[in-house]
A = this chain, B = another copy of it.
Amino acid sequence: MAMSGTDLSRMRELNQLSVLWALRGNAPSTVTEIAGRTGLSRPAADVLVQQLVTDGWAEVEEPGASSTVGRPARRYRFRAGAGHVLGIDIGVHKILVMLCDLEGNLVQSLRRPADPRASPDERLASVDQTIDDVLREAGMAPADVWAVTVGVTGPVDERGRTSIATSLPGWREADPVAHLRARFTCPIQVENDCKLAAVAERWKGVAQDADDIVYLLAGLRTGAGLIIDGTLRRGYGGVAGEIGALKAVRWLNAPEHLATCPGVPSGAKPSEAAAWVFQAARDGDSAAKTAVQRYIRDLAIGVAALVLTLDPQIVVYGGGFSRSADLVLDPLRRELAKHCLRVPELRASTLSDEGVALGGLRLALDQVDNRLLSGQLAAPVAPQFS
């Protein structure tokens, strides 16, 4: 534990950040409110916030009609529009690009279908196109983007490669970071889709109140993302949560119970087949009910392994099958009770298929925050390089 001494300038820096944090995420605030929130004196808060205004981090709102007695106060607001970040979901069937400001408000979002068999080059070209459209509609240039996070399937190493495995054809050789660096000078990171979806659930989803979360991606693929003590758990080699690789955990085969269920319309695509089975089970078809039951039983073993290892507060059931959570949650809870010492709360995701891009936005915002906390609080401009 190395602590280093603090001096006056560092103290001012910390107080400046403290004021910035007090502004962000709150309605436009008077100096008195800021002073109260930060614990600083009013004069101190005053000069600090004025410095933020001249630096471009905050802006003044001159007093309008006041509803209370006394001299109406100037209000200051965080200039959320000073910078923006991108969250990009490169999926098998779709590409989703989201743009938000520094406060996390969604500014622009664009979705574009993708051919599951598209080559990496074609897919990246489509990503480029979508980014262009988003930026154009938002009236912004690449230099206005402060951080980019990309979500892809499969384990991601620290250089942003998915060389171990991925469902995107040819993607093991792809280098999305290098590709995007041609256009963006800001930090670019690539992350696994389950991990990003987990982050999104804690940010805007059903797990905002928890610090220890297992996110379960349930769909034609099965995967997991872990949040421990409030931070995303990547693992020493970036492959944390890949419990599905264990043969004793039948995650690879679990969705097959749905695909091979008797009665599935012939010629149906896998995703259609699964949807059909869930609906049939809802309608009382006994073969479908058995198939769902078997799926849940297999799914539960892997979830139990994660839960027993981590003892999380919440398990979030997300992914393509989360629309059928009404059929899954209760039986899954019963299965977990058989295996686990303590059954965590089970919740269904509500972010539909936007979780990955949303999580990307959150991670990009975290990147910006870290720069503010570590580096000095300079005027708001996009950081260079990654």
Contact surface of A with B, Cβ cutoff 8 Å: 1-8, 11, 14-15, 17-19, 21-22, 38-40, 44, 155, 164, 212, 226, 228-229, 231, 233-243, 245-249, 301, 304-306, 308-313, 339-342, 344, 369
Contacts and interface: CB of A to CB of B under 8 A. Distances in A.
A222 B4 CA distance: 42
B44 A342 contact: no
Contact of A308 (B4, B44, B242): B242
A306 B14 CA distance: 40
Looking at chain A's contact residues, the main secondary structure is loop
B305 A155 contact: no
Nearest to A157: B342
Contact of A240 (B3, B21, B240, B309): B309
A282 B331 CA distance: 48
Nearest to A4: B39
A211 to B, nearest CB: 8
Given A18-B3, A39-B4, A342 B239 contact: yes
Given A301-B248, A305-B246, A236 B344 contact: yes
B245 A341 contact: yes
Nearest to A211: B236
Nearest to A8: B11
A2 B1 CA distance: 22
A243 B14 contact: no
B311 A237 contact: yes
Given A21-B1, A239-B342, A245-B339, A309 B311 contact: no
Nearest to A301: B248
B2 A6 contact: no
Contacts of A17: 3
Nearest to A304: B246
A246 B301 CA distance: 8
A155 B21 CA distance: 39
29 contacts: A1-B21, A1-B369, A3-B22, A4-B18, A4-B38, A5-B14, A5-B15, A5-B38, A5-B39, A5-B40, A6-B11, A7-B40, A11-B11, A155-B341, A212-B235, A228-B233, A229-B229, A235-B310, A236-B311, A237-B341, A238-B311, A239-B308, A240-B310, A242-B308, A242-B341, A246-B339, A247-B339, A248-B301, A309-B310
A342 B38 contact: no
Given A1-B21, A212-B236, A236-B344, A309 B241 contact: yes
A231 B308 CA distance: 18
Contacts of A304: 246
A240 B233 CA distance: 15
Contacts of A341: 155, 164, 237, 239, 242, 245
A248 B245 contact: no
A7 B41 CA distance: 10
A18 B19 CA distance: 25
Contacts of A11: 6, 8, 11
A8 B242 CA distance: 48
A181 B148 CA distance: 54
A22 B4 CA distance: 9
Contacts of A313: 236
